[in-house]
Structures are given as structure tokens and as C-alpha cells.
Amino acid sequence: MKKAFITGVCGQDGSYLTELLLEKNYEVHAIIRRSSIFNTHRIDHLRRNENFFQYYGDLTDSSNLNRLLKTIKPTEIYNLAAQSHVGVSFDVPEYTADVAGLGTLRLLEVIRDSNLDCKFYQAGSSEMFGGKIDTIPQNENTKFTPRSPYGVAKLYSHWITVNYREAYNLFACNGILFNHESPRRGENFVTRKITRAVAAIISGKQEFLELGNLDAKRDWGHAKEYVKAQWMMLQQEQPDDYVIATGKCYSIREFAIKAFEYVGIEIVWKGNGLNEVGIDKKTNKTLIKINKNFYRPTEVDLLLGDATKAKEKLGWKPRYTIDDLIAEMMEYDLYIENNIKSVNLNNFGAIQENINCKQAIHVS
């Protein structure tokens, strides 16, 4: 039986990856960090699985990682834990560097010190490409010019993973993943913030949505498909680094228009800059406002990935379109808000899974 060790299991990707590995009959061991409130709602539906083991742990605590890894002896390690919010990384740069940067080194050091015979996946990010992009779309050879403390921390992790692969012959891979979303996405990332707000507005529980930069563009895929790529990287003969992306990008403005369209609202724009507003064409109500607090000190304007290498070497290909992704997220958020009956619930499978998570929060 293969044994996986996952950090960041309570996050969006951790929950989908755990499902995938349990389906593949892995024994899954994972660290959960202590919190004053239950933070396991994304994995509560899996916690009774006899092959799933959870431990308290933290990427900032070397002794904890050392003890756990030496005892568990995993065959694959997936390092997904991070302070993963780019905007927040400007507020907590040192902590972000400690977890998203040094945390990776701590894991690699345990593997090296204990001669662990295991494969290692590092959750790298398209945020590492940053601002001065010399290639569009971006691939594995594009220069990195990060624009945030988060991007810089992830870049350290990227290179230390390459370095340990070369210096100590470790099977260590970097996934350079472009943005991926789902109904399980954290609520302060822009896509989920939008779908949550649209559902709340149409249900009469919120008046308007406040956003920052509407014109940044992102290449958005579905998290479920992206965790499969993480697993595929570790099943290859040789370790390598791969870009994972859809090859299509949209602005925040376009995402918001599409999400409102999903509930039958046509947005028209008026004004400029901080005074721009998005208005419901039918009722003339202001539904989107700009709040300068959501702008970042330095922005990444455009991310568009070229995943040709992943397609050719891993056989990985995304299937979700942006409209499929928005539909799934909207359906879930509409359900959470008030179970609107007029919504086409053609994605009930995904919603059912998430309902189970939601119920688990309530019984905890």
C-alpha cells in the first residue's frame, strides 16, 4: 500500500487530493494545525475513512515534522501548506516566508537526514512569474520575477526543491500551478468572493460587492483536475517541474459579469478608476463597487499558462471551461444561501459532497 503524507490537508487542494488518494487505495497521513475553531470542514466527510490518519502539526515546527515523518515513513509527500493569500502576504511577509519558503526546506531536510525513500511534491505557483513577463503564455522556461512576499517565498521553495533534487538525488517535483478554484475555494480569493456575493445579493442578503483591481487577468482551472496533475507528477520515472494551466485567461471583470449572468443579471459599467461601478441594467441598482483596500501594493497583471509539457509527458489535460467552473461554484453558493429552487442543479454530485462537509461543521 502506498503511503502519502500531506501538509495543508484542510485547504482546498488538500481536501481534493485526499479524496483522490483514498480512491486510489493510499494510506493518507496528514497534518492539521491547531486552531481555536474547527478548521476541518473540507475533510470532515473523509475523517472516518480507516486509511486516513490526522496529526497535529505545523510547517514551522521542525521537530514535529521530523518525528512524524520518521515514524510514518511515507512513500510520497505532498507539500501543500502555505499562507496562500497573496494580498495577506504583504501584511504578514515574515510568517509567509517562514511557512511558504522555509517550511519546504524543513521537509526536504527531514527527507535528506533520514534517508527517507520517498517522492516529494512542492506546490509552486504561477505567482512566481510575477510582473515582467517575457513570454506569454508562460511555461517552465519563463523567467521568474515575483511581485509579492508570497511569490518570493514560493520562489525560494521552487529553487530549494530543484537544489535538493540535484544535490542529493531526491525525487522532488515542482508543480507550477496557475489559479485553480472550486466550491471549496477560500472565501477571500476573488472568484469565491464573487460567487458568494452574487448568491447573497440575489437572495436579498447583501446589497453590493466590493472589489479591487478588475482588470487583472488570471488563468482559472478547477482544483479537482489540478490535484490529479500533482499526483501524476509523482508517478513518473524521473522527477521534473511542470506548468499546470488551462491556456485561457479572463479578467476579474469578465468573471464577475459571467457570475451575475448566471443568475440572470446583466451588469453595465459606469465611471472610472475608484469611482467605477457595476450596475444592474434592469433595475439600475449598483451591485459592484471598487474599494481601494483590495488593491495590492504591486499587482500581477496577467497570468496565462502553457501546459504543453504536462500534456505531452503526463497526459494531463483540463476539461472544465470557465463557464463550467462558474456554474459549479454558483450552484453551491446559491444552495448555501437559501436553496433557490429555480437554479438548474445539474451538478448535484459536487453539491452533495459539499453539503456533507457543511453538515459536518454543524455537528462538530
| Cβ proximity to ligand GDD, 162 vs 340, nearer residue | 162
> Considering the rule CB under 6 A, would residue 213 count as an interface residue with ligand GDD?
yes
Measured CA to CA in angstroms, residue 6 lies from 10, 225, 294, 306 at distances of 10, 17, 31, 27
Q: What span, in angstroms and rounded, lies between the C-alpha atoms of 226 and 85?
A: 18
Query: Judged by CB under 6 A, which stretch of 54-62, 139-147, 204-212, 268-276 contacts ligand NAP?
Result: 54-62
**One-letter amino acid for residue 283 of the chain:** T
| Of residues 142, 116, 117, 113, the one with CA closest to residue 127 | 142
The DSSP element (H or E) to which 251 belongs, if any, is strand 250-251
Binding mask 312-351 for ligand GDD (x = CB under 6 A): ----------------------------------------
257 binds, among ligand GDD, ligand NAP, none (CB under 5 to 8 A by kind): none
# binding residues, ligand NAP (CB under 6 A): 26
- Return the C-alpha torsion angle 89, 56, 29, 94, nearest 10: 20
299 binds, among ligand GDD, ligand NAP, none (CB under 5 to 8 A by kind): ligand GDD
> Considering the rule CB under 6 A, would residue 90 count as an interface residue with ligand GDD?
no
> Considering the rule CB under 6 A, would residue 153 count as an interface residue with ligand NAP?
no
Q: What span, in angstroms and rounded, lies between the C-alpha atoms of 84 and 326?
A: 21
How far is Cα of residue 45 from the mean position of the Cα atoms in its chain? 20
| Cβ proximity to ligand GDD, 270 vs 292, nearer residue | 292
> Considering the rule CB under 6 A, would residue 36 count as an interface residue with ligand NAP?
no
Q: What span, in angstroms and rounded, lies between the C-alpha atoms of 257 and 255?
A: 6
196 binds, among ligand NAP, ligand GDD, none (CB under 5 to 8 A by kind): none
Residues 6+ apart with CB under 8 A from 21: 2, 4, 6, 28, 231
Per DSSP (E only), the strands in 10-103 are: 27-32, 52-56, 76-79
Binding mask 57-96 for ligand NAP (x = CB under 6 A): -xxx-------------------xxxxx------------
> Considering the rule CB under 6 A, would residue 186 count as an interface residue with ligand NAP?
yes
Residues making contact with ligand GDD (CB under 6 A): 84, 86-87, 125-127, 178-179, 188-190, 193, 211-213, 216, 218, 252, 294, 296, 299, 303
